[in-house]
Chains A and B, each alone.
Chain A
Amino acid sequence: SAVISQKPSRDICQRGTSLTIQCQVDSQVTMMFWYRQQPGQSLTLIATANQGSEATYESGFVIDKFPISRPNLTFSTLTVSNMSPEDSSIYLCSVVRQGTDTQYFGPGTRLTVL
């Protein structure tokens, strides 16, 4: 498995502001993903974080709203921009090690937007 940390673990933010969530892994991984889990729902993939290039977004998610960076093989950030109450969710990062197909998840960031 991999040791994955996320910061912050939770936050309460005001409408119209932005929050950047960090995901740090203890070793190099090939793939990193960002998911959203709305209250009482399952997980939805936001995007694949590509090292050194633009993220690949899933349908319904755009870079202007969810900019993602991945400057190296162990770190990625997700920004939730111009937040509204509908953005209140748990945001999780996940990673895949080279040669495996198993995703391991971080502990998540619980975001509440007022």
Chain B
Amino acid sequence: AQSVTQLDSHVSVSEGTPVLLRCNYSSSYSPSLFWYVQHPNKGLQLLLKYTSAATLVKGINGFEAEFKKSETSFHLTKPSAHMSDAAEYFCVVSGWNAGNMLTFGGGTRLMVKP
């Protein structure tokens, strides 16, 4: 079985300050991990994915995430928030034993203040 917990349902930052969105996962096997972003009234866009190569994964729009097996975490970070980053972010886990099935976290709504 696999599960994902996003530790914060809402995160608020000021423009230009760092972003940290926290995610912990549980998986019986070596998982693939993803972050997706959903802007208002839009579909889901893939930000980045981890598939057992480098533990530090760089994605689009300046986002990156670090896979820490010992902590079962895959936190998403960005050095400097932009107003356009305001959106809903989903941490997602998939395992080869789950037949490409995705398990979604509850989502974190990121708000960026001017």
Q: Which residues of A approach B to under 8 Å, CB–CB?
A: 1, 31, 41-45, 92, 94, 96, 101-108, 110
Contacts and interface: CB of A to CB of B under 8 A. Distances in A.
A104 B43 CA distance: 10
Main secondary structure of the interface of A (DSSP, over half): strand
Interface of B: 32, 34, 36, 41-46, 49, 51, 90, 94, 96, 100-102, 104-107
A107 B104 contact: no
10 contacts: A1-B46, A42-B105, A94-B44, A96-B100, A101-B51, A101-B96, A101-B100, A102-B49, A105-B45, A106-B43
Contact of B43 (A45, A101, A107): A107
B110 to A, nearest CB: 15
Contacts of A92: 43-44
